[in-house]
Amino acid sequence: MKFRTQSKKLQLQIFNLLPVKRASMYPYEVKEPNEDCSAYSIFKGVGLKMFTNLVLKSPFCLPYSGRNCHEVKITYTFPFLTFMYDYPLAVAMDRTEVLSAAGTGAAADLPPPIIRTFLPETWLWDLVEVGPSGTKEVPVTVPDTITAWETEAFCLSQQGFGLAPPIELVVFQPFILELSLPYSVIRGENLELKATVFNYQSSCIMVRVSPTLSSDYTLTPLANAQEASCLCAQGHGTYSWKLTPTALGPVNVTMIAEAVSTDTSCDNKTVEVPERGRVDVVTRSLIVKAEGTEQTKTHNALLCPKGESLQEQVELSLPKDVIQGSARASVSVLGDIMGRALKNLDGLQSMPYGSGEKNMALLASNIYILEYLTNTQQITPEIKARATNFLTGGYHRQLNYKHSDGAYSTFGTGSRNTWLTAFVLRSFVKAKSVIYIDPTVIADAKSWLESKQQDNGCFQKLGSLFNNRMKEGVSDGVTLSAYVTAALLESNMAASINKTMLCLKQSLDDQSNTYTTALLAYVFTLAGDMETRTRLLEQLDKVATQEGGNLYWSHSSEKSVSLSVEISSYVLLATLGASPTAADLGYASRIVRWLISQQNSYGGFFSTQDTVVALQALALYATLVFSPEGSSTVDIQFPSGQMTFEINQDNKLLYQERALKDVTGKYSMEMKGTACAFMQLSLHYNIPTPRKESSFRIKVIPEAECNTNQLRPKHTLKLASTYVGKDGSTNMVIVDIKLLSGFVPDPESLTKLKSALLVDHVEHSDDHIFIYLEPFSSHVPINHSIDILRDIEVENLKPAVVKIYDYYQPSDQAETQYNYCTTGGAPPSGPCNIPSAPGQRRGLCHVEEHRLSVEMPAVHASPDLPHGPGVDLRHVVHMNQELLDLSQGELLLPLLLARMWYL
């Protein structure tokens, strides 16, 4: 005993010499090299033989210290090493080894834990062709959601229709871990991260919850965060940390819940460790945003060296009021001018998607890109499948905006819209070569348009013209009729436009409206009237703007870049639409260079129509000048170094992007070779929310409801929107409300808002609420209100931004900000109304902290379906041969739809 005591003292003396004596968490990121670094190998390497009873070398292929040892790799494991709260030890281990070491010992025989990240609310399967056998196995992967899925299937064949009875699939685990996180926070805010564990077993378990380390945030343990706790049958426990983000952008938060063995009883009941599902790992994403308002600057260049070296210089600079740490820059290079749009088929603009027009803009853009790739033989099965999927979804969504008579409107209700119906018609006709379009849908739209043709050949205007900035010189009827005529001509329905051409020719003498003149030039090109086309193009050439070798057009006195893009695109379509010569291609290239210079970082432009027309024109130009040969090298010099991009025929469509270390300074780009390249420098940064007003004013006054009995305190946002521009009225207007971190909209309030004054549509997406407003008159405030609820408590709340802008001219905008009504008065964004109540001080709203009580839902495990998340299954579809004679033809199973029912 004395010897042991002295040995213990010696151990403590040696231990006290260590610089680090205790670690709070295990660093999973740190791993040992692959070579053998055991004590045995070190002594052997220096030629020493050791005689000791200490463990220097593990045996081969035998169970040892709670794990199976294989080959010569030595890894010592210790109980509960995952959490490292009581052991001053550091051993480099793989994450699966760490999780295994914290268990009962035979962990090496258990499958590695599944990190649950795929948590959809619905589960939609693809179309399946069953064939004459009547049976088809469909391999699928079960989502990570712990729930019950109800599957339904129906099938079609030439013999009839079949409907399968619903089948329930239960996805089950002994216990699950759920994280409570908002969609986003702003840098400088702190939030309480809550991890709740639900025990679905009939026995008690001892659970320990631990987070993984990350350099993107810091965690401070709060309630029960460092303790293992008992969870008995159908019980739950909550563990809390204070989370402080330290990095911007998407941050992954991973938590590990593990059932551990213990000799301690829980409520006088024996603790059991489940044989399967003893570890649950959940990863959730949290977006950390910078303060203020995001700004984006892009510099685009199209270089075609043709054997010689081409150079271009760009200087990036930031404004003085840039928010520190928010700036980031990147450079991207593509060998095809359509490549950037191809990369962002599902989102060419940073605008909401709630209208029939925006849906059609995406659908039409996909069509033009797909046509270009097909015509140039660059289409691949993967690209075609992706584009076809978007087209099919867009087609079905657009039917939501269809009226029974074949017309379409912006939101599916209200006035029918002549212009939008023509837009849908031309797009559906093009799409039917790729996906199935019901012929009656096309016929109904054509019939409705023809019914709106007046005696003079022009079309009747129903619904608003999509952009009132085009009203100048000629009437709306001429511009609308030209658009409808172009749609009919593109749809090979020339028989319907004989009278219309007479209407359009009567307006040729008035060419004061540049937009209408460009559109008419395109219409007469489609109609084959070369004489009129030439006269209109000559007039347009006289009013063109030349800028550094580039060419573009503006809309008379209206300096709208969005309209300039659309006008220039129509001129480009007219120039290339009739067997273009080499001179025509040279002229067109000057327009193309200007158009590309206006492209945003998503591959689109400023609004919906300019994006559609510009991509249509660019696709036509790219098809005509496409060459399957050539390669080039792009060298970019910047203050802290250089980088090189290679462009060849194998990677023309590959989107190559690299982040830049220097967000300011001069960049020199040099290109050598024989292939063209499209380059873009993007600079993103935040600035304080601008206070200056343009054509709009927006005011937000938050009102607090000081009821401390509420689990989710409510705030009412009162908004006043005013148009103060030079026109008499607006286009469609968007009010974009960024929610405070941790807040969600009140569902009842959203429903009421949809029927409010001038509100066409309301859309809730992530942490934003979008309100679509009908056009309204100038200098008349439009008032609305909406309630928001605090769902997750966030400390040190930063102001949220509210933005109002013209849908077709986004540069016409105004912004303001608001904050939470807190103790001590008004937030920095402006006034804060706090209604007084009996016994309550005016101007002060103190909201006490409440903890949410979570009710445990009942779970009934299905003994026949013991499937866990992430398990590959085969869904077998059987059809009754007596009901459908499958021998006469193949059976098509067009849809398998799974609806999720939360337990």
Average pLDDT in the 633-661 region? 90
Neighbours of 775 (CB within 10 A): 18
What are 28-35's contacts with CB under 8 Å, separation 24+? 28/95, 28/98, 28/212, 28/213, 29/213, 30/92, 31/92, 31/94, 32/92
Q: Give the model's pLDDT for residue 890.
A: 35
At 787-837, the pLDDT tens digits run: 999 999 899 999 999 999 988 888 888 999 998 765 444 444 444 554 444
Q: How far are the Cα atoms of 358, 362, 815 from residue 341, in angstroms, in the given order?
A: 16, 11, 29
Question: β-pairing, 160-170 with 175-180?
Answer: unpaired
Query: Taking all residues of the chain, what is their mean pLDDT, rounded to a whole number?
Result: 78
* Angle subtended at Cα 481 by Cα 475 and Cα 486, rounded to the nearest 5 degrees: 135
At residue 582, does pLDDT exceed 60?
yes
Token digits of residue 400? 């939501």
Question: β-pairing, 122-125 with 128-129?
Answer: unpaired
- Side by side, the strands of the sheet bearing 696-704 are 696-704, 714-723, 782-790, 743-745
* Residues present in the chain in total: 903
| Tokens 């703007």, located at residue | 545
Amino acid residing at 281: V
At 366-412, the pLDDT tens digits run: 999 999 999 999 988 888 888 888 899 889 999 999 999 999 988 87
Closest of 696, 692, 758 to residue 725, by C-alpha: 696
Q: How far are the Cα atoms of 167, 254, 260, 317, 469 from residue 82, in angstroms, in the given order?
A: 40, 14, 11, 47, 64
Asked if 81 and 87 count as a contact pair (C-beta separation under 8 A), the reply is yes
Q: How far are the Cα atoms of 117, 558, 777, 781, 804 from residue 695, in angstroms, in the given order?
A: 44, 14, 12, 13, 10
Asked if 355 and 414 count as a contact pair (C-beta separation under 8 A), the reply is no
Q: Which of the 8 DSSP states describes residue 423?
A: H
Average pLDDT in the 639-651 region? 90
Q: How far are the Cα atoms of 3, 4, 90 from residue 7, in angstroms, in the given order?
A: 6, 5, 22
Cα dihedral 199, 201, 202, 208 sign: negative
Cα separation, 609 vs 594, whole angstroms: 17
Burial call 543-556: b when 16+ CB within 10 Å, e when fewer: ebeeeeebbbbbbb
Cα separation, 483 vs 107, whole angstroms: 69
Q: Give the model's pLDDT for residue 114.
A: 67
At 69-88, the pLDDT tens digits run: 443 333 333 333 333 333 33
**Which region among 98-102, 275-279, 499-503, 662-666 has the lowest average model confidence (pLDDT)?**
98-102
CATH number for domain 175-289, candidates 1.10.287.130, 2.60.40.10, 3.60.21.10, 2.40.50.140: 2.60.40.10
Cα separation, 549 vs 301, whole angstroms: 13
Average pLDDT in the 163-172 region? 83
Question: Which of 7 and 409 is assigned the larger pLDDT?
Answer: 409
Average pLDDT in the 468-479 region? 59
| Burial (Cβ within 10 Å: 0-12, 13-18, ≥19) of residue 748 | exposed
At residue 745, does pLDDT exceed 90?
yes
Q: Give the model's pLDDT for residue 65.
A: 41
Asked if 489 and 523 count as a contact pair (C-beta separation under 8 A), the reply is yes
Question: β-pairing, 249-260 with 67-68?
Answer: unpaired
Cα dihedral 142, 144, 145, 147 sign: positive
Cα separation, 757 vs 773, whole angstroms: 9
Q: How far are the Cα atoms of 91, 356, 394, 460, 610 from residue 361, in angstroms, in the given order?
A: 56, 9, 10, 23, 9
The pair phi, psi for residue 563, each rounded to 5°, is -70, -35
Q: Give the model's pLDDT for residue 9.
A: 62
The pair phi, psi for residue 452, each rounded to 5°, is -100, 10
Cα separation, 375 vs 369, whole angstroms: 10
Q: Which residues contact 440 (CB under 8 A, 6 or more apart)?
A: none
Question: Which of 835 and 754 is assigned the larger pLDDT?
Answer: 754
**Which region among 12-16, 319-323, 517-521, 715-719 has the lowest average model confidence (pLDDT)?**
12-16
Cα separation, 487 vs 427, whole angstroms: 9
**Which region among 63-72, 247-256, 843-852 has the lowest average model confidence (pLDDT)?**
843-852
Q: Please report, for the chain, the start and end positions of each structural domain, with discontinuous segments joined by +.
A: 1-111, 116-172+859-901, 175-289, 293-533+552-681, 690-818
Cα separation, 484 vs 523, whole angstroms: 10
pLDDT band at residue 37, thresholds of 50, 70 and 90?
low
Domain 690-818, CATH: 2.60.40.690
At residue 414, does pLDDT exceed 90?
no
Q: Give the model's pLDDT for residue 35.
A: 47
Q: Residue 289: beta bridge partners?
A: 186
pTM above threshold 0.85: no
DSSP labels for 37-77? --HHHHHHHTT-----SS--SPPSSSEETTEE--TT-----
Q: Give the model's pLDDT for residue 200.
A: 85
Q: Where are the alpha helices (DSSP H) in 528-607?
A: 530-542, 561-576, 582-597
CATH level 3 topology of 293-533+552-681 = Glycosyltransferase (1.50.10)
Token digits of residue 780? 């008349």
Token digits of residue 302? 């199209």
**Which region among 344-353, 680-689, 820-829 has the lowest average model confidence (pLDDT)?**
820-829
At 523-563, the pLDDT tens digits run: 999 999 999 999 999 999 999 999 888 999 987 666 788 88
Q: Give the model's pLDDT for residue 783.
A: 95
Average pLDDT in the 425-436 region? 93
DSSP labels for 595-663? HHHT--TTS--SSHHHHHHHHHHHHHHHHHH--S---EEEEEEETTEEEEEEE-TTSTT--EEEEES-S
Instruction: Tell me the helix, strand and coil percentages in the chain, rounded to 5.
Output: 25, 30, 45
Closest of 356, 400, 416, 410 to residue 759, by C-alpha: 410
Cα separation, 582 vs 560, whole angstroms: 31
% of the chain exceeding 90 in pLDDT: 33
Q: Give the model's pLDDT for residue 561.
A: 87
Q: Strand runs (DSSP E) across 758-855, as ranges?
A: 759-765, 768-773, 782-790, 794-795, 800-806, 813-818
Q: Which of 11-20, 91-100, 493-502 has the highest mean pLDDT?
A: 493-502
Q: Which of 37-51, 489-503, 850-864 has the highest mean pLDDT?
A: 489-503
- Side by side, the strands of the sheet bearing 813-818 are 759-765, 768-773, 733-738, 800-806, 813-818
Q: Which of 94-98, 565-569, 817-821 has the highest mean pLDDT?
A: 565-569
Q: Give the model's pLDDT for residue 147.
A: 80
Cα separation, 233 vs 204, whole angstroms: 6
Average pLDDT in the 688-693 region? 77
Q: Give the model's pLDDT for residue 705.
A: 67
Q: Do domains 175-289 and 690-818 have the same CATH topology?
A: yes
Average pLDDT in the 324-347 region? 86
